[in-house]
Structure 1
Amino acid sequence: MSYQVFLDALHPEDRQRIHAMRPLLESGQLVHHEIEYRVVWPDGTVHWIAARGSANYDADGKPISSMGVIFDITDRKQIEAALRQNEERLRVALQASPITVFTQDRELRYTWVYNPTPAFANVDLIGKQDADLLPAQDVEILTQIKRQVLETGIGTRKEVKTTQKGQPQYYDLTVEPQRQTNGEILGVICAAVNITRLKQTELALRQSETILKAFIASSPIGMAFFDRDLRYVYANEALATINGIPLEQHLGRTLGDILPQWAPIIEPIFQQVMATKEPLLNQEVVGATNPADVVRHSLVNYFPVCLPDGEVIGLGVTDLDISDRRQAEEALRRSEEEFRTIANAAPALVWVTLPNGDNIFFNDRWYEFTGQTQAEAAGYGWTETIHPDDAARILPNWQRCQETGETYEGEVRYRRYDGEYRWHAFRALPRYDANGQIEAWYGLSIDISDRKIAEAAVQESERRLRRLVESNMFGVAFGDFNGGN
C-alpha cells in the first residue's frame, strides 16, 4: 500500500495530524510510535485503529522501513465514548441537583467530592475526615453507618441530621461499598440529598396538624368526617357527647351503627351533598340520640370534602348543640307569656320601655283605655295621650330619671278613648343587666280619678264649712251629749 493510499483512507479529521508525523519519522525524531487514528473502510464505516511500531534507518540515518502491529479498537472507543457521555450526563444532572456525591477510603478520608454542600463549598475536603468538619455527635452516627457498609459490603440508605455552621441540615444518605475489579472494598461511595426544606415543611405540617387536632378536639362544636361509604373517619369528643356514644366506638362505623334511628333521615342528606358538591348549612335537627329519652336541638352543617381536582373524598359535618339555648328561649317565652297574662289581668295600665324611653310593651288595658293602636303607642307615641298641662311637668322628669336611674313616679292625666282625661298615679323602676346598665323600665299606672273627685269633694266641704264658721257672728260651739264642752 502506498503512503498516498494510506493517507486517503484516513478519516478527514485525523489526516492532517498523522501526515504531520512523517517528517518526524524521516528525521529520526520519532523512532518508536504509538498512535490512534480513524480509517474509513470501503463500505463507509469508520474504524478506530491503534498502531505501535518502530522505524529502521540506514547508516546515513535515512529511514528504510517501519515495522509494527495495528489493532482495531473500535469497540473500546465506542465504550469510552458512551462512558464519557454518561459521565457528562451525570455531571450535568448533579450540577443542577441538590445531590452531593463523594468517596471515602477505608479510613473514611475524603478522596473525591462533587457538588459539596454550601457550608463546605470553599473548603478543601480531600484527605479530611468527618471529625474535621462536623460535631462529635454527628460524626458518631455517620461513622457507624459507613463502618457497617465497609464491614458487611452491603449498601444502606439512612436519613441523617448534621449541624453545619450552627444550622441543622437533614440528608437522605445512600452509602455503597466501593470495590476494585477483584471485589476488594476500597472504601465507600456516598450520595447525599439535602432534604432540609422537606423536613422543615414536614415539621410545620406536623405542628399545624397538632394544632388543628387540638383545636378540633377541644372545640365545643361536634365535628366529624365521613368517607364515601359513610363511615366515621374522624370525630371529636363534643360529637361523641351529643351522640351519647363513646368516641372510640365511632371510628370505622357508619351512622346507622351509631344512631340507627337517624340513619334513614340523615344518610340521604349525606348522599345529596356528596352528589351535588353543594353544602347544606344551618339545618336545625330535633330529636333523641342517646339516651333515648333526652331530646336534643342541634344546628347542623353538611359539606363535601374535595381534593384540589374536585374529587369528593367524603363529607364533613359540624353539630352545634343548641339544646340549652332552645330551653332558655322556651323559658323566656313562657316567662314573657306569664308576664303578659299577669299584666293583662292587672286593673292598671302596665308598660315597658327601652332605656331611652321608647315604649316596647303596653298591656291590653292601655289600648282599651286610650283607644290607641300598637303602632300609635310605639316609641314616644304614648305621650300624645298626656294632658298638655301635665306634659311640660312630667316629661322633663322622665328624661332625668332615664339618665340617673331614679324611680319615676307621680300623677298624670291620660286621655281616655272618649276624650275624657283621667287622673293616674304612676310608678316605674329600672331593670339592670349584669354590667349595671339599665336594660328597660317597667311601669304601672293606676286610675285615681275617683279618688281625686272624692278628695276634691272633701276639700270643697271643708271650704264651705270654713266660710260658714267665719261668717257666723254668734260663734259655734261643739260638745257631747253629756254636757261636756
Structure 2
Amino acid sequence: MSHESDSAEAQLAGMFAIPGVGMAQTDPVTRRFLRVNAALCAIAGYSEAELLAMTVDQLNHPEDRELDRRTFESLFRGETGYQVEKRYLRKDGAVVWVRASGNVLRDARGRPVRAFAVIEDIGQRKRGEEQLRQSEARLALIFERALVGLSEIAADGRFLRANPELGRIVGRDPGELLRIGICDVTHPQDVPPSLAAAEQVLAHGGSATLEKRYLRPDGSVVVAQSSLTRLDPLDGEAPRLLAVTVDLTALRESEARLRVITDNMPALIGYHDRQQRYVWVNEEFSRFFGVPREALLGKTMRQWLQPHVYERLHPGVEAALRGARVRFEDKEPDKYGPGLHSWTEENYIPNLAPDGSVQGFFVLALDITARKRAEEALRASEARIRAIANLVPDLLWSNDPHGRADWFNRRWCDYTGQRESEALGDGWTAVVHPDDRFTAVARWRQALRQQQPLDNELRLRSRDGPYRWHLVRAEPQLDEDGRVVRWFGSATDIQAHRSARELLEQQVRERTRELRALLARVEHVQDEERRRIARELHDSLGQYLTSLGLAVGALTQQPLEPAARERLGTLNGLLQQVDRELDRIVFTLRPTALEDCGLGDGVAAYVGTWSELSGTPVDLVLHGLDGQRLPTPVETAVFRVIQEALNNVTKHAGATRVSVSLKRSRRQLLASIEDDGVGFEQESDGSHAAPGRASWGVLGMKERIEALGGHFVLESQPGVGTTVLLRVPLDGAVASSG
C-alpha cells in the first residue's frame, strides 16, 4: 500500500511539473489551496506562498464564484469530474479567463478528501471569440443597413437571407423573400440569363455581374445590377451564392437627364477607353461628323479622324492616358475656305480607377471659332487704334476708373522722353511744370470725384528740357449703368498758339491799328481769293463734271455698239481722272493746315491727303516740329518743295511706297522725299532733269531752297527710285506768328 502511495505521489509531482499548464490541489471542504505549481502562479499573478494562503473563491472573479461553487458541489453528489470556464482576478487587478478541469480523491467511504484541478489560460481564445462575435455583429449590422441589396441564395434559387434594401428594391418584406426564390422576383424575360449566371458561378466559382429587371408585386419594374459570388460551403452544406444588388433606377434617370443636357450642349462630349475607342458620345458628335452616333461607337480615333487631325490631337490623348488633365486649342486651317480656320478648345480628363490606373478619358471639345475671330478682330482693331493714336500729333493716354494711368501713346514718350513704364500710375506728374503740378493734380482729382470731363492748360517738359504749354482734356467712358470704366485723355501742344498770342500782343503795342488792319486785309483778301478760286473750281466745274458723269452713266444703261461702249468707257475714265485732278488742285490751293498749325501739321495733312488720292502708302517721320513755328518763308518753301516732289512721284515715278522725313535740329531743317519708283538717268553735267521728268519743277524746287541759303540734292537711278534731299539753315531765323 505504501508503494502504491509513493507511485501516485510521484505521478502527481510529475503532473505539477508540466510547463505551461496550471495545477492545483485544494481542500474540498474549505477550498483552500494545498499545492500549486509555477504555471498557475504565472496565470494568477501570485507567488506560491500567496496562493497557499488563499481559497479558490478569493482567486475567482466575483461574478464567477457562484458558478464555480455550484460546479464544485456537484462532486459531492457523486459526479466524478468537472469542467468550468471562469475568470481569475489577478493580483495586479487584471482579469484572465481560464478553463478548470478537475476531480476529487475520495476515502474508503467515498467522501472527498482532496480536489485536483488542471487550469488552462484561455484568454487568447476568449479574445478571439469576442472579436469574432463583434465582427459578426458588425457584419450583421452592415448587412441590415447596407445601401445595396444583399442576400444569400441557395443552389435551388431560394432566398436564405435578405436585407431590407433588397426588400425595398423588389417591393417585398425581407421575411417574405425567405419564402420564395430569385425567379419569383425576376422579370420573366430576365430569368434565363439570371439562372445561367447563377449556375456558372456555382459550378466554376468566381463572380458574375448582370443588369436585370425585377418585377414588384404592384407590377412596376425596377432596373438593377446584380453581382453573384459563390460562398464556400460549410461542413455538410451545399454551396450558396452571395448576391449584391444595386438599384439603377436613380442612375438611369440621372443618365437620362444627363443625356438630355449633354445632347443639347454646344460642345462635343464623349468618353474614350484606353484603346481610344469611342465608348459614349453626345448628339453634338453626331452633328459635327454628320453621322449617327452609333456609327462612331466602337471606332478608334485613328480609324475615324483624318490622319493630319489625329496627329495634332495625339500628344494630348497620350498625356491624358498617362493621367494628366489636358487642355489645348486646336486649329483646323482653311476648314471654311481659304483663310477661314476652325478652332476648338480640347479638354481631356483622365478616368482614374481607385488604384490610380487610367481606364480611359473624357472629352469636352468646344467650338471657339467665333471667339477666335472676335479676338483677331479685336487685336486688329486695337492695332489700328494704336496706329492712329501714334499718328496724331497729340499726346494720348488712358486711365483706369480710379485715375491711374495705364497706357500712353508713342507721341507722349517721344515728346517727354519718358518710357511708358515710367509714366504709368502717377509717374506722368514728373513732367508737369512745378508751378502747374499742384493745380493739375487737384483738378484731376476733382474730375475723378465728380466724374466730369477735364479741361486744363499746363506746361509739360519736353525730352530736351524746355516746357511747352499744352491743352489737357480727359473724358470718362461710362458703362450702361453710368459707371466710369475708363478715362481717355489728350494733351495738345498750344505753345505756338500761346506764343502767337503773346507775339500778337507785342505787335499790337508796337504797330499802329492801321498797319494791323492793312495786314489783316491783305491776308484776308489772299485767303478769300484762294477760297474763291477753289470754290469756283469745286462748285462750277465740279457740277459740270458731276452732270457729265451722270450723263455718261445713263448712256451706259442704253444698248450700244461695242465700239461705242468702249469709247464711252474711255470717256468715263477720263472724267474720273479730271475729277481727281480737280480735287488735287483744290487741295493745293488751300493748305490750311500749314497756315493754322505749322509746317509739321501742314506736311502731315498734305501727305495724308496725297496718299489717299494717289493710293500710294507713305511712311512719314516728323521730328522736332512740335515746338515754335519756323519762319514763314522757310515753312512755305519747304512745304511747296515737298508738295512738288510728291506731285512728280504721282506723274512720273510709278512708285508703290514713299517715305517723307522732316526733322528740325537747333540750327537746321532737314528733309527727304524717297520713292521706290522707276527712277531715271541723271544728266552727265550733273543736272537733275531727264526725259519725262518735270525739269522746270525740279529747278523751281532747287531755287526755292537755295534762295534760303540752303542746299538741294536730287538722286535717282533707273529701277531703284528717286530721292530728294534738302537742308535749310535756321541760324537767326525769326519765328512766324502763325
Per the shorter chain, which TM-score range? 0.5 to 0.7
For 1:281-360, what aligned pairs fall within 5 Å after superposition?
281-288=326-333, 294-310=340-356, 312-360=358-406
Aligned residue among 211, 216, 230 for 1:161: 216
In the other structure, the counterpart of 2:417 is 371
Shift of the 285–423 alpha-carbon distance from structure 1 to 2, 3 Å rule, reads: same
Shift of the 317–430 alpha-carbon distance from structure 1 to 2, 3 Å rule, reads: same
Aligned residue among 223, 232, 244 for 2:278: 232
For 1:63-142, what aligned pairs fall within 5 Å after superposition?
96-98=161-163, 116=175
Q: Is the Cα–Cα contact under 8 Å of residues 336 and 342 in structure 2 kept in the other structure?
A: no
**Whole-angstrom distance in 2 between the partners of 1:394 and 1:376:** 19
Aligned residue among 358, 370, 381 for 2:427: 381
For 1:250-261, what aligned pairs fall within 5 Å after superposition?
250-260=296-306, 261=308
Aligned residue among 441, 449, 459 for 1:395: 441
Q: Is the Cα–Cα contact under 8 Å of residues 335 and 342 in structure 2 kept in the other structure?
A: no
SS of residue paired to 1:372: coil
For 1:42-53, what aligned pairs fall within 5 Å after superposition?
none
Report how far residue 392 of structure 1 moved: 2.5
User: Does 2:270 match 1:215?
Assistant: no
Q: Is the Cα–Cα contact under 8 Å of residues 423 and 449 in structure 1 kept in the other structure?
A: yes
Shift of the 291–359 alpha-carbon distance from structure 1 to 2, 3 Å rule, reads: closer
In the other structure, the counterpart of 1:62 is none
Q: Is the Cα–Cα contact under 8 Å of residues 95 and 115 in structure 1 kept in the other structure?
A: no
RMSD: 4.1
Q: Is the Cα–Cα contact under 8 Å of residues 325 and 350 in structure 2 kept in the other structure?
A: no
Q: Is the Cα–Cα contact under 8 Å of residues 469 and 495 in structure 2 kept in the other structure?
A: yes
Identical aligned residues as a percent? 31
Shift of the 257–386 alpha-carbon distance from structure 1 to 2, 3 Å rule, reads: same
**Whole-angstrom distance in 1 between the partners of 2:354 and 2:312:** 30
Shift of the 362–400 alpha-carbon distance from structure 1 to 2, 3 Å rule, reads: same
1:21-71 CA distance string (max 9 Å, x none)? xxxxxxxxxxxxxxxxxxxxxxxxxxxxxxxxxxxxxxxxxxxxxxxxxxx
1:139-165 CA distance string (max 9 Å, x none)? xx99xx9xxxxxxxxxxx9944347xx
Aligned residue among 292, 310, 313 for 1:266: 313
The letter of the residue matching 1:285 is D
Report how far residue 349 of structure 1 moved: 0.9
SS of residue paired to 1:426: strand
User: Does 2:269 match 1:204?
Assistant: no
SS of residue paired to 1:253: coil
Q: Is the Cα–Cα contact under 8 Å of residues 222 and 240 in structure 1 kept in the other structure?
A: no
**Whole-angstrom distance in 1 between the partners of 2:217 and 2:222:** 6
**Whole-angstrom distance in 2 between the partners of 1:278 and 1:359:** 45
**Whole-angstrom distance in 2 between the partners of 1:297 and 1:410:** 49
Report how far residue 242 of structure 1 moved: 5.1
In the other structure, the counterpart of 1:17 is none
User: Does 2:486 match 1:440?
Assistant: yes
Please give the TM-score of this superposition, normalised by the length of structure 2: 0.36
Q: Is the Cα–Cα contact under 8 Å of residues 243 and 290 in structure 1 kept in the other structure?
A: no
**247-256 or 435-444: bigger deviation:** 247-256
Q: Is the Cα–Cα contact under 8 Å of residues 213 and 222 in structure 2 kept in the other structure?
A: no
Shift of the 365–159 alpha-carbon distance from structure 1 to 2, 3 Å rule, reads: closer
SS of residue paired to 1:219: coil
In the other structure, the counterpart of 1:410 is 456
Aligned residue among 388, 404, 407 for 1:361: 407
**Whole-angstrom distance in 1 between the partners of 2:223 and 2:473:** 84
**225-234 or 333-342: bigger deviation:** 225-234
Shift of the 218–358 alpha-carbon distance from structure 1 to 2, 3 Å rule, reads: same
The letter of the residue matching 2:162 is S
The letter of the residue matching 1:283 is F
Structure 1 stretches of 4+ with a deviation exceeding 6 A read: 168-172
**Whole-angstrom distance in 1 between the partners of 2:458 and 2:466:** 13
- 5+ long unaligned stretches in structure 1: 1-88, 100-113, 119-140, 146-156, 173-194, 469-485
**Whole-angstrom distance in 2 between the partners of 1:259 and 1:452:** 72
Report how far residue 348 of structure 1 moved: 1.4
Q: Which structure has greater helix proportion?
A: 2
The letter of the residue matching 1:356 is H
Shift of the 337–268 alpha-carbon distance from structure 1 to 2, 3 Å rule, reads: closer
Shift of the 312–361 alpha-carbon distance from structure 1 to 2, 3 Å rule, reads: closer
**Whole-angstrom distance in 2 between the partners of 1:396 and 1:320:** 50
SS of residue paired to 1:384: helix
1:314-356 CA distance string (max 9 Å, x none)? 3322212222222222112111111111111111111111122
The letter of the residue matching 1:97 is A
**Whole-angstrom distance in 2 between the partners of 1:158 and 1:449:** 92
Q: Is the Cα–Cα contact under 8 Å of residues 320 and 326 in structure 2 kept in the other structure?
A: no
Shift of the 420–170 alpha-carbon distance from structure 1 to 2, 3 Å rule, reads: closer
- 5+ long unaligned stretches in structure 2: 1-153, 165-172, 178-183, 189-211, 225-242, 514-738
Please give the TM-score of this superposition, normalised by the length of structure 1: 0.53
**Whole-angstrom distance in 2 between the partners of 1:339 and 1:158:** 68
**Whole-angstrom distance in 2 between the partners of 1:319 and 1:304:** 14
**Whole-angstrom distance in 1 between the partners of 2:299 and 2:223:** 41
Report how far residue 393 of structure 1 moved: 2.3
Q: Is the Cα–Cα contact under 8 Å of residues 348 and 447 in structure 1 kept in the other structure?
A: yes
Q: Is the Cα–Cα contact under 8 Å of residues 433 and 439 in structure 1 kept in the other structure?
A: yes
SS of residue paired to 2:248: helix
Shift of the 366–244 alpha-carbon distance from structure 1 to 2, 3 Å rule, reads: farther
* Bigger RCO (CA 8 Å, 6+ sep): 1
**225-234 or 416-425: bigger deviation:** 225-234
**Whole-angstrom distance in 2 between the partners of 1:269 and 1:234:** 19
**Whole-angstrom distance in 2 between the partners of 1:220 and 1:351:** 40
Shift of the 283–408 alpha-carbon distance from structure 1 to 2, 3 Å rule, reads: same
Shift of the 362–241 alpha-carbon distance from structure 1 to 2, 3 Å rule, reads: farther
Q: Is the Cα–Cα contact under 8 Å of residues 162 and 170 in structure 1 kept in the other structure?
A: no
1:108-152 CA distance string (max 9 Å, x none)? xxxxxx97459xxxxxxxxxxxxxxxxxxxxxx99xx9xxxxxxx
How many residues align? The count is 300
SS of residue paired to 2:381: helix
**427-436 or 348-357: bigger deviation:** 427-436
The letter of the residue matching 1:287 is E
**Whole-angstrom distance in 2 between the partners of 1:339 and 1:455:** 34
